[in-house]
Amino acid sequence: MRILILGAAGMLGRKLAERLAHDGQLGGQSVDTLDLVDVITPAAPAGFKGEANCQAGDLSEPGTMAAMVRSRPDLIFHLAAIVSGEAEADLEKGYRINLDGTRLLLDAIRLEGEGKGWKPRVVFSSSLAVFGGSFPAVIPEEYVLTPQTSYGTQKLMGELLLADYARRGFLEGVGIRLPTICVRPGKPNRAASSFFSGIIREPLAGQEAILPVGEDVRHWMTSPRSAIGFLIHAATLDIALLGDRPNLSMPGLSVTVGEQIAALREVAGDRVAGLIRQERDPVIERIVAGWAQALDASRAEALGFTAEKHFTDIVWAHIEDELGGRIG
Amino acid sequence: MRILILGAAGMLGRKLAERLAHDGQLGGQSVDTLDLVDVITPAAPAGFKGEANCQAGDLSEPGTMAAMVRSRPDLIFHLAAIVSGEAEADLEKGYRINLDGTRLLLDAIRLEGEGKGWKPRVVFSSSLAVFGGSFPAVIPEEYVLTPQTSYGTQKLMGELLLADYARRGFLEGVGIRLPTICVRPGKPNRAASSFFSGIIREPLAGQEAILPVGEDVRHWMTSPRSAIGFLIHAATLDIALLGDRPNLSMPGLSVTVGEQIAALREVAGDRVAGLIRQERDPVIERIVAGWAQALDASRAEALGFTAEKHFTDIVWAHIEDELGGRIG
């Protein structure tokens, strides 16, 4: 099979390509070709036996998406996005990439496939930023979505487009609302959520980390490992089970920052946990205060999506996957 | 004050302009200028004392909206749309007018006003088509929106854009989800809901009407008179009361087609009611089967929006407003 990954140079895109290269198959079909696209040229995954086409492209340029889908991939992962902090700082860029980019992809699929028997599976990474405003402590599956950021608005508009184009038969759509990914490897990014990873990642690497919010802040998280599992599962599940709601809240773990720090201390000791320094940032505090703390993800759980149940498992996933299993 | 109406040649647009011309004021401010725009040149309302500028324009053409907002109206009614049946039949046209048109308007306002102290009120006519899929008999205020038509998808995307641009301070947004308008005057249109009006309007004019669905079909309706009342109220209410949810489900009346016919019989007699002929249309039946039957509109009611409580009142509103108070 042929698989296209948009946003392949991002953290999840790279890990997904590596997983597909490692497995060599998906749902029993061999992975023959990987088309990897991002705003910078993505790296080919090490050890991939098939053909990897790595390309740079601006997804919001007219024509880019048409060229991407001309080879008619069986499966498309659309992970490309401007993150929350940047989409809030640069309104036009956020709408251009997060809304127009998604729409151009879906329209390119429609125009390439309509009436010609090509109907790919499209897995779209949405976000819990679609929730916003006042909501209960645990947000029900059927709760109204009133995002309070431009990023959340754009992701929700992408979900709606995906659902409409799936309903009209142009594609098989699966939208997955990812929890905040923790622990993200690499450097801090411009997402307002960056510190949730930083306070685990930096201390484990022997570095100080800044905590810009209070320890009572509660949030919905999952590991990169689980997130890749969601993407793989979304690509292979029986599409008929989604009915008329192809967008799903993914399972996660509801933890406070204090519980994160306690888990880090339990796994890595006082010295490591002592590297976290609180330095409040009112802008980040205000953004984070509006975020979901816990979701009912029972639909996705019933469909077989799974995530960690304890934050120590999330810390260990980072140590195993990024640090070779060793602390300090 | 200066008021811009987009979609001013449509049924609601015309009635709104007539009402504003008749009242001569809105919320205590005199109405000095009406800018009336539609795809065909709208008529100036009779007897208007102020200046009426009537223009034809394609709202989805780049530049049209910028030209429209250059005069900085205090209030903008955005009523322009491709109706449900046509948006389903012509995907590209529906997205171009209903999504791009709305976005071009909001961006034109942003670019004209940002940092320059102009922040107009924008009243956006949304629709109960934003509801779809499985839902309870009475849809709660905080129920998830999963439209099952392209029209509903586009209206919901417009609501989300309006909310985001209002949140960012570019405008004062009020989105009102109109019930199906009944009795629409004039000719049948391409909305799948057209027959809800046709079965009252045509018999009252001595003509036969086709009923394409069963009498047990239940739907959420309001009169044109109430809909104009909603628009006027949305234009004048205290914007602070909307909080972070500027989109509101409007009140209406939940009636079955059978109850509509009984009310027509009560008001106009057996001969008139006998002019309805059932001729089922599976396409319309399938579309209508997915529509909301009743909503909880308590938020809007608490904000002072009001609608009819009995379908005979809706029949009488038509007779008074369109037929000079006389039957047959």
Q: Name chain A contacts of B153, Cβ cutoff 8 Å.
A: 160-161, 163-164
Nearest to A146 among B133, B150, B245 (CB): B245
Residue of A nearest to B162 (CA): A153
What pLDDT band is residue A289 in, cutting at 50, 70 and 90? confident
Nearest to A245 among B146, B156, B164 (CB): B146
Q: According to the model, what pLDDT value does residue B289 have?
A: 87
What pLDDT band is residue B227 in, cutting at 50, 70 and 90? very high
Contact A164 B141 (CB under 8 A): no
Contact B160 A147 (CB under 8 A): yes
Q: Name chain A contacts of B167, Cβ cutoff 8 Å.
A: 148
Residue of A nearest to B134 (CA): A244
Whether residue A58 is predicted with pLDDT greater than 90 in this model: the reply is yes
Counting one residue from A and one from B, how many pairs have CB atoms under 8 Å apart?
62
Closest CA to A100 of A161, A29, A15, A26: A161
Contact A146 B243 (CB under 8 A): no
Contact B125, B79 (CB under 8 A): yes
Contact B142 A144 (CB under 8 A): yes
Distance from the Cα of residue B250 to its chain's centroid:
10
Contact B150 A157 (CB under 8 A): no
ipTM of the complex: 0.95
Q: According to the model, what pLDDT value does residue A96 have?
A: 98
Whether residue B7 is predicted with pLDDT greater than 90 in this model: the reply is yes
- Mutation target to probe the B interface, by most B beta carbons within 10 A, among A143, A146, A154, A156 is A146
CATH number assigned to the domain with residue range A2-179+223-249, chosen from the 4 options 2.130.10.10, 3.30.465.10, 3.10.20.70, 3.40.50.720: 3.40.50.720
Q: According to the model, what pLDDT value does residue A287 have?
A: 83
Q: Does A160 touch chain B (CB under 8 A)?
A: yes
Q: Does B148 touch chain A (CB under 8 A)?
A: yes
Q: Name chain B contacts of A141, Cβ cutoff 8 Å.
A: 144
Q: Does A144 touch chain B (CB under 8 A)?
A: yes
Nearest to B144 among A110, A142, A148 (CB): A142
Whether residue A62 is predicted with pLDDT greater than 90 in this model: the reply is no
pLDDT digits (tens, 9 = 90+) for A295-316: 999 999 999 999 999 999 999 9
Whether residue A190 is predicted with pLDDT greater than 80 in this model: the reply is no
Cα–Cα separations (whole angstroms), residue B11 to B42, B81, B128: 11, 12, 18
Q: Give the gap in angstroms from C-alpha A151 to the nearest C-alpha of chain B.
A: 10
Q: According to the model, what pLDDT value does residue B328 have?
A: 64
Closest CA to A130 of A112, A104, A157, A107: A157
Nearest to A146 among B91, B168, B244 (CB): B244
Whether residue B168 is predicted with pLDDT greater than 80 in this model: the reply is yes
Q: Does B146 touch chain A (CB under 8 A)?
A: yes
Give the span between the Cα atoms of B246 and B167, in whole angstroms: 9
Give the span between the Cα atoms of A153 and A127, in whole angstroms: 10
Residue of B nearest to A247 (CA): B146
Q: According to the model, what pLDDT value does residue A162 have?
A: 98
Q: Name chain A contacts of B244, Cβ cutoff 8 Å.
A: 132-134, 146, 148
Whether residue B241 is predicted with pLDDT greater than 80 in this model: the reply is yes
Contact B163 A153 (CB under 8 A): yes
pLDDT digits (tens, 9 = 90+) for A225-248: 999 999 999 999 999 999 999 999
Q: Give the gap in angstroms from C-alpha A142 to the nearest C-alpha of chain B.
A: 5
Give the span between the Cα atoms of A165 and A163, in whole angstroms: 6
- Mutation target to probe the B interface, by most B beta carbons within 10 A, among A164, A291, A295 is A164
Give the span between the Cα atoms of B328 and B324, in whole angstroms: 11
Q: Name chain A contacts of B143, Cβ cutoff 8 Å.
A: 142-144
Average pLDDT over residues B308-326: 96
Coil/strand/helix, residue A299: helix
Query: Tokens representing B216?
Result: 């047990």
Q: According to the model, what pLDDT value does residue B190 have?
A: 72
- Residues with Cβ within 8 Å of residue A68, at least 6 apart in sequence: A4, A6, A35, A37, A57, A105, A108
Q: Does B141 touch chain A (CB under 8 A)?
A: yes
Nearest to A150 among B147, B164, B245 (CB): B164
Closest CA to A15 of A39, A50, A43: A43
Whether residue B80 is predicted with pLDDT greater than 70 in this model: the reply is yes
Contact A168 B150 (CB under 8 A): yes
Nearest to B245 among A133, A153, A245 (CB): A133
Q: Does A113 touch chain B (CB under 8 A)?
A: no
Average pLDDT over residues A95-102: 98
Interface of A with B in 192-231 (CB under 8 A): none
Residue of A nearest to B246 (CA): A146
Residue of A nearest to B167 (CA): A148
Task: Say whether A151 is catalytic.
Answer: yes
Q: Domain ranges in chain A?
A: 2-179+223-249
Whether residue B327 is predicted with pLDDT greater than 90 in this model: the reply is no
Q: According to the model, what pLDDT value does residue A188 have?
A: 84
The helix (run of H) or strand (run of E) holding residue A134 is none
Q: Does A138 touch chain B (CB under 8 A)?
A: no
Tokens 């948006």 correspond to what residue?
B87
Q: According to the model, what pLDDT value does residue A328 have?
A: 65
What pLDDT band is residue B115 in, cutting at 50, 70 and 90? confident
- Residues with Cβ within 8 Å of residue B271, at least 6 apart in sequence: none
Residue of B nearest to A90 (CA): B168
Q: According to the model, what pLDDT value does residue A224 have?
A: 98
Q: Does A263 touch chain B (CB under 8 A)?
A: no
Cα–Cα separations (whole angstroms), residue B122 to B21, B75, B241: 19, 6, 15
